[in-house]
């Protein structure tokens, strides 16, 4: 009995050994460099390795691409053994952020500088636009920060706490101008962990973090132009409460510049998957300025949401984005309107999934959007319905589309194909997506007493303008809505008559329910279209 127990205990100790194995400050610094270079950064710094303590001064993490360069400079990073097989990492001093990139100079500025008006006929022979540099600079403060690293050189766990993370940035206002926009913010009680495990020559990363509150403030003064128009002040604040984020990623064994080699990195196995949730959001804004005639322009407002979540994923299989938010509201007052504008939404969500890698086979895509419980303040309704003739029940909108498409080029391919022209030398619009089928899972609208819903599916051949398939629709309360619109004087009867005739071509009354309309739109080979069995094209 004792021997099996001892054997089991030994097995547990040996199994736990990789977790308890000691990591050195030098190994932690090396791992941090590798993780950064995997994502395209170049790392440099002055290293002083005293064995139990490693100090890096003027550590610079920079990324350069064809558009510019971004760098973060850490005055000092101290890596110190804790005595229990772990390493404590502390950032000392303010982190400097510097991002410089080039953008085309405003056309108006170029024309004024040359003193001439560009001739339209000379546009095809125009030279490359003049480029101007823009810069984003600032600092990040992390007082009281601490990160504890454990594990092995091949599998490290980073556990960090930041009581306060404060940033102060200066953003460019417009290309070619010296005016800047100050942006400040704080994140409080930020804590989390990240694990970097080497696998197949690359690195598998997982992370988990939480924060009590995140705030961002913008307080800017913009100069007016020479005529005295434009310019003004802007005060903007936003805050998120009880944030949480989780995610995972995988970097391949090779090193890529993600700014210019994203397609190659995805083909090699790069993956990203992240989520963000927060309990509530609130914000406000206040802007002042002058229009082109010198008249004062003002605007104030506030907005808020309840529980929200966002997610993003990227791999060679595709790119996905999802977002949802509950209990959203907004209210604003504009100097040009005599009353405030306000609205509320019970639930809003969106989803987008698209392929990113070129291939001969069709790949899935999806587009979905839902808006539930949309309401407007009575002041807005009274603009066009002072007699309260239209139902003011909450409105809703649903769009749910999915299908398959062939991607003719990598979505992140930086090499743009040569512009194609038609027989007259005019540019031909090009798209990398060639749809093969489309499922209209549901498109529905419920507002002002009327309802509409459409479902169906379409298949596409070589000519995307000639699909084959059927769309079915049901419509409730449309005739009653048109009668009310005429009675309110919004649309003259003679114009509504044309709309009624058009509706009769594509919809027919449902049997036993004259206020409900149904429609079947059939798309046939050769571009023919039939509505309820009658050919309309």
CB 190 within 8 A of CB 209: yes
Stretch (H or E) spanning 377: none
The b/e string for 414-428 (b: 16+ C-beta within 10 A; e otherwise) is: eeeeeeeeeeeeeee
Phi and psi, residue 479, nearest 5°: -60, -40
Q: How many CB atoms lie within 10 A of CB 260?
A: 16
Quote the pLDDT of residue 442: 97
In the predicted model, is pLDDT for residue 420 greater than 80? no
Q: Which two tokens stand for residue 518?
A: 């149904």
In the predicted model, is pLDDT for residue 215 greater than 90? yes
The closest alpha carbon to 23, from 14, 32, 15, 36, belongs to: 32
Concatenated DSSP letters for 222-251?
Answer: EPP-TTS-S-EEEEEEEEEEEEEEEEEEEE
Residues 6+ apart with CB under 8 A from 219: 182, 233, 234, 235, 236
Q: Which two tokens stand for residue 123?
A: 């546009």
In the predicted model, is pLDDT for residue 132 greater than 60? yes
Where exactly are the structural domains of the chain? 449-537
Q: Which two tokens stand for residue 212?
A: 């009590």
* Angle between the N-to-C axes of helices 478-487 and 493-506, in degrees from 0 to 180, rounded to the nearest 10: 170
C-alpha of 120 from chain center = 36
Q: Report the distance separating Cα 194 and Cα 146, nearest Å.
A: 14
Q: Report the distance separating Cα 333 and Cα 429, nearest Å.
A: 42
Q: What SS3 string covers 94-123? A: CEEEEEEEEEECCHHHHHHHHCCCCCHHHH
Which range scores top for mean pLDDT: 20-24, 65-69, 286-290, 503-507? 286-290
What percent of the chain is predicted at pLDDT more than 90? 53
C-alpha of 375 from chain center = 26
Residues 6+ apart with CB under 8 A from 431: none
Longest Cα–Cα distance of the chain, Å, equals: 98
Quote the pLDDT of residue 202: 85
Quote the pLDDT of residue 456: 96
Give the mean pLDDT of 213-237.
83
Q: Report the distance separating Cα 234 and Cα 222, nearest Å.
A: 8
Q: What SS3 string covers 412-438? A: CCCCCCCCCECCCCCECCCCCEEEEEE
Q: Report the distance separating Cα 518 and Cα 251, nearest Å.
A: 53
Q: 10 falls in which pLDDT band (50, 70, 90)?
A: very low
Give the mean pLDDT of 8-19.
30
| Low-confidence winner among 14-18, 151-155, 355-359, 484-488 (lowest mean pLDDT) | 14-18
Q: What is the DSSP letter of 518?
A: E
Give the mean pLDDT of 291-311.
89
Residues 6+ apart with CB under 8 A from 332: 299, 300, 301, 302, 340, 341, 342
Q: What SS3 string covers 41-60? A: CEEEEEEEECCCEEEEEEEE
The closest alpha carbon to 149, from 93, 206, 90, belongs to: 90
- Strand partners for 392: none
What percent of the chain is predicted at pLDDT more than 70? 88
Q: Which two tokens stand for residue 263?
A: 């397609």
Interstrand relation of 180-199 and 87-92 (parallel, antiparallel or unpaired): unpaired
Quote the pLDDT of residue 228: 62
For tokens 């990789």, the residue is 18
Stretch (H or E) spanning 150: strand 146-152
The closest alpha carbon to 165, from 195, 142, 197, belongs to: 142
Q: Which two tokens stand for residue 266?
A: 């995805």
Dihedral of the alpha carbons of 17, 19, 23, 27, in degrees to the nearest 10:
120
pLDDT tens for 424-449 read: 555 555 678 889 999 999 999 999 99
C-alpha of 185 from chain center = 20
Q: Is 40 exposed, middle or buried (0-12, 13-18, 19+ CB in 10 A)?
A: buried
Give the mean pLDDT of 239-267.
89
pLDDT tens for 46-82 read: 999 998 999 999 999 998 877 788 999 999 999 999 9
Q: Which residue has the higher pLDDT, 255 or 397?
A: 397
Quote the pLDDT of residue 229: 65
Q: The pTM is what?
A: 0.83
Concatenated DSSP letters for 172-206?
Answer: ESSTT---EEEEEEEEEEEEEEEEEEEETTEEEEE
Q: Report the distance separating Cα 13 and Cα 8, nearest Å.
A: 9
CB 172 within 8 A of CB 137: no
């Amino acid at each position: 009995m004792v021997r099996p127990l001892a054997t089991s205990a030994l097995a547990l100790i040996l199994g736990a050994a990789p977790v308890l194995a000691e990591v050195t400050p030098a190994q932690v610094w090396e791992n941090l460099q590798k993780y950064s270079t995997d994502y395209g950064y170049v790392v440099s710094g002055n290293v002083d390795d005293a064995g139990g303590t490693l100090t890096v001064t003027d550590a610079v993490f920079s990324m350069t691409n064809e558009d510019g360069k971004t760098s973060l400079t850490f005055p000092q990073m101290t890596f110190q053994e804790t005595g229990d097989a772990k390493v404590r990492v502390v950032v000392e001093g303010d982190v400097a952020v510097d991002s410089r990139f080039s953008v085309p100079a405003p056309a108006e500025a170029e024309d004024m500088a040359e003193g001439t008006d560009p001739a339209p006929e000379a546009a095809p022979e125009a030279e490359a636009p003049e480029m101007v540099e823009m810069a984003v600079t600032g600092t990040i403060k992390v007082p009281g920060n601490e990160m504890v690293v454990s594990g092995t050189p091949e599998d490290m766990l980073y556990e960090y706490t930041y009581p306060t993370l404060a940033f102060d940035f200066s953003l460019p206002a417009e290309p070619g101008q010296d005016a800047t926009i100050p942006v400040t913010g704080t994140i409080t009680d930020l804590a989390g962990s990240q694990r970097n495990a080497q696998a197949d020559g690359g690195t598998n990363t997982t992370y988990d973090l939480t924060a009590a509150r995140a705030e961002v403030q913008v307080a800017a003064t913009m100069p007016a132009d020479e005529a005295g128009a434009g310019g003004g002040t802007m005060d903007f604040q936003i805050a998120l409460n009880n944030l949480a984020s989780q995610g995972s990623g995988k970097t391949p064994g090779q090193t890529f510049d993600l700014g210019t080699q994203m397609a190659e990195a995805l083909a090699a196995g790069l993956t990203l998957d992240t989520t963000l949730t927060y309990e509530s959001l609130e914000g406000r804004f206040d802007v002042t300025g002058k229009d082109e005639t010198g008249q004062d322009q003002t605007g104030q407002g506030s907005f808020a949401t309840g529980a929200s979540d966002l997610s993003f994923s990227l791999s060679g299989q595709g790119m996905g984005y999802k977002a949802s938010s509950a209990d959203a509201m907004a209210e604003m007052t504009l100097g040009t309107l005599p009353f405030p504008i306000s609205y509320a939404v019970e639930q809003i969500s969106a989803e987008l999934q698209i392929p990113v890698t070129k291939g001969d086979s069709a790949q899935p895509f999806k587009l979905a959007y839902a808006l539930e419980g949309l309401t407007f303040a009575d002041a807005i309704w009274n603009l066009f319905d002072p007699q309260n003739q239209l139902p003011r029940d909450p409105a809703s909108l649903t769009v749910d589309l999915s299908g398959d498409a062939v991607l003719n080029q990598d979505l992140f391919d930086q090499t743009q194909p040569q512009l194609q022209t038609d027989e007259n030398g005019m540019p031909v619009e090009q798209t990398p997506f060639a749809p093969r089928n489309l499922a209209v899972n549901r498109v529905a609208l419920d507002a002002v007493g009327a309802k509409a819903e459409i479902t169906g599916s379409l298949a596409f051949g070589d000519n995307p303008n000639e699909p084959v398939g059927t769309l079915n629709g049901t419509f409730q309360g449309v005739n009653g809505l048109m009668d009310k619109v005429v009675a309110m004087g919004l649309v003259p009867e003679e114009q509504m008559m044309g709309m009624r005739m058009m509706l009769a071509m594509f919809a027919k009354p449902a049997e036993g329910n004259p206020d409900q309309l149904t429609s079947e739109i059939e798309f046939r080979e050769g571009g023919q279209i039939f509505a309820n069995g009658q050919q309309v094209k």
